[in-house]
Structure 1
Amino acid sequence: MVPAELAVELIWSPLRGEWRRLTLQLPEGSTVVEALRASQWFNEADLQALKAGIWSKLRPLDTPLRDGDRVEVYRPLTVDPKEARRQRYQATGRRIVTRHRPLGKKA
């Protein structure tokens, strides 16, 4: 009997504007940390300090994977998002408006 395998996609951006993508075949029951090890992108000593998620949701490294999962490795923020917004406003003088709900009438 052939052991079941999972197809998992691993995404990482080591630098701004640079993306790495890797498709891994892992044994069933593998965890996030095992996917990170299989990629050989990270030192063993650095693994516990990494922040990773599955489909944009932060997850512990011991989270079991399912077939078709996308594991994402997150870089630490270099600037607080609120501070970056203030700096952009000071530089341009224009307010940055974001909309978190669809345009149209309020529900």
Structure 2
Amino acid sequence: MKPRLGQIIMTASSRLTSVTMPAELGARVRRRLQQDGTPIGPIALLTRSIRWSFLVQPDIVLDTSTHAALFRLYVSVTKPGTTIVLPAPTDTHLRSWLHLEISSE
């Protein structure tokens, strides 16, 4: 946490990272996860760029072709060691939570 800046931050790791994509694609991903009964973790809305950021446990290694395919869809996967800024009560104009708990709803 960086109280002076009003930010909540975390560092991406091999246990937790983020996958960020355009909101329209994010909505389709969430719908598909719900249809499949897959648990959905926290989802943040990045309000200025209109993107969704899913917090996930990484379970695949991104090879070059997968990374290229995601890049073409404007999807980014945060690499371990990278700072992830999370929504904070004082930061609602930049980020907010769309879905906070882990559920299979």
Q: Relative CO higher for 1 or 2, CA cutoff 8 Å, sep ≥ 6?
A: 2
Shared fold, TM over 0.5: no
TM-score (norm 2): 0.24
TM-score (norm 1): 0.24
